[in-house]
Each structure stands twice: as structure tokens, then as C-alpha cells.
Amino acid sequence: MTDWGQDHLLTEAQLLTSELVTNAVLHAGTDLTISVTADRNRATLIVAVRDGSDSMPRVRHYSPLATTGRGLAIVGQSAVAFGAEPIDSGKEVWFELPMAFGPPDPTGRR
């Protein structure tokens, strides 16, 4: 994100990624991979977590006092889009955050 000039997204991206990774660890119990990409055409940062379980996640509606079960709701409130899709070896759960672009970087990194 720093290379793309998107430091302002670090904290939020870390929180939402943590929610998806926690879900994968707790519910899938398989190896997982994380990918982070920038879609400059749509001006979004896309973070995806892949795991080996074909069980699709769903948003739960627990009490505000609950200590678990609100991860996807948090992702849904913070991200401009999120979802889950089956893949050949399990599923991919992803979210998007809006990117901000300033003047062109003279080093060509963004």
C-alpha cells in the first residue's frame, strides 16, 4: 500500500484482513493465502483471503454485546464492497476499499 501511495488505508485494511483471516482460521482450519491488489481503473484496493473450505461465510446478526460473530458485519460496514466466491480448492473471501490518487509519482511507483 505504501508503494501505491495508499498509506491512509493501512489501519482499515489491517483490521478487515484480520477479520477475514480469523474467520478462515476458526471455520476453515486449512492453509490460507492473502492477496492484495490495486485496481487503478476502479480506484479500489482489493484484499482477498483464500482457504480450503467450500463452506461459504454469512453475515450473522448477534447482539452488540456478543464477543464473536460480527466479523463479516464489520467488513460490510467498512468496505465499499465485499463477498465470497467458490474456487477450485475452497473459497475466496474479499473486500474492496476506495483508493485515493494524487499527482503522478515521478518514480513511477504508483
Q: Give the Cβ contact number of residue 31 at 10 Å.
A: 11
Nearest to 49 by CA among 34, 37, 71: 34
Provide mean pLDDT across the span 78-90: 95
Instruction: Please state the pTM of the whole predicted model.
Output: 0.83
Cα–Cα distances (Å) from 17 to 11, 41, 80, 110, in that order, read: 10, 22, 14, 22
Domain 7-59+67-98 has CATH 3.40.50.720: no
Question: Does the pLDDT of residue 103 top 50, yes or no?
Answer: no
CB 96 within 8 A of CB 45: yes
The dihedrals phi and psi of 46, each to the nearest 5 degrees, come to -120, 125
Annotated domain spans of the chain: 7-59+67-98
Provide mean pLDDT across the span 17-26: 94
